[in-house]
Amino acid sequence: MGLFDFFKGDNKSKKELTWEEKNTYKGDTPDCPNCGNPLTKRYVFSGMYCEDCQYGLEDDGDYESNESLSVYDAALIWQSNGKDEDYTFGYSEEELEDALN
Ligand SMILES: [Zn+2]
C-alpha cells in the first residue's frame, strides 16, 4: 500500500479507505480477444471491457453509461457498507433490497 499512501496526502486518515480505494480493481486483466490490448476492469465487481475497441461494452453501445451503476452493483456496495444511506447511489432502499433478493 506504500504507493497509495503517497498519493493520499495528509488530510485523510490512513485507516479510512474511500469507497474508490476499497473497490478499485488492482489485479491483472487478460488481453482483449479482439485487439490484444489489456482489458480494463475498473472496480472489483465490474465487468471487463476494452477501451480501444469497446469489447465488453456492446450491450448498450454507450460508453458514458458505464459510469452509472446498475441497481444490482449498487446494492452490493450498499450491503458491503452496512447498508449505509450514503451508498444508495440514488436508489431507494426498497430497490436495493429487491436487487439483493
Ligand atoms: Zn479491444
* Residues 3, 7: Cα–Cα separation, whole Å: 7
**How far is ligand 1, taken at its centre, from the CA of residue 36, in Å?**
6
**Tens of pLDDT, residues 23-75:** 999 999 999 999 999 999 999 988 999 999 989 886 554 444 445 788 999 99
Contacts of residues 87-93 at CB distance under 8 Å and 24 or more positions apart, as own/partner, are: 87/19
Residue 29 lies inside a defined structural domain of this protein? yes
8-state DSSP, 13: -
Residue-number span of the structural domain to which 93 is assigned: 69-101
User: Does the predicted model carry a pTM greater than 0.75?
Assistant: no
Residues 53 and 77 in one domain: no
8-state DSSP, 101: -
**How far is ligand 1, taken at its centre, from the CA of residue 63, in Å?**
14
Domain count, the chain: 2
**How far is ligand 1, taken at its centre, from the CA of residue 55, in Å?**
5
* 69 CB neighbour count, 10 Å cutoff: 18
- Among 16-20, 32-36, 75-79, the range scoring the smallest mean pLDDT is 16-20
Residue 11 lies inside a defined structural domain of this protein? no
Half-sphere exposure of 68 (CA within 13 A, CB side): 8
**How far is ligand 1, taken at its centre, from the CA of residue 45, in Å?**
20
**How far is ligand 1, taken at its centre, from the CA of residue 20, in Å?**
25
Report pLDDT for 15: 76
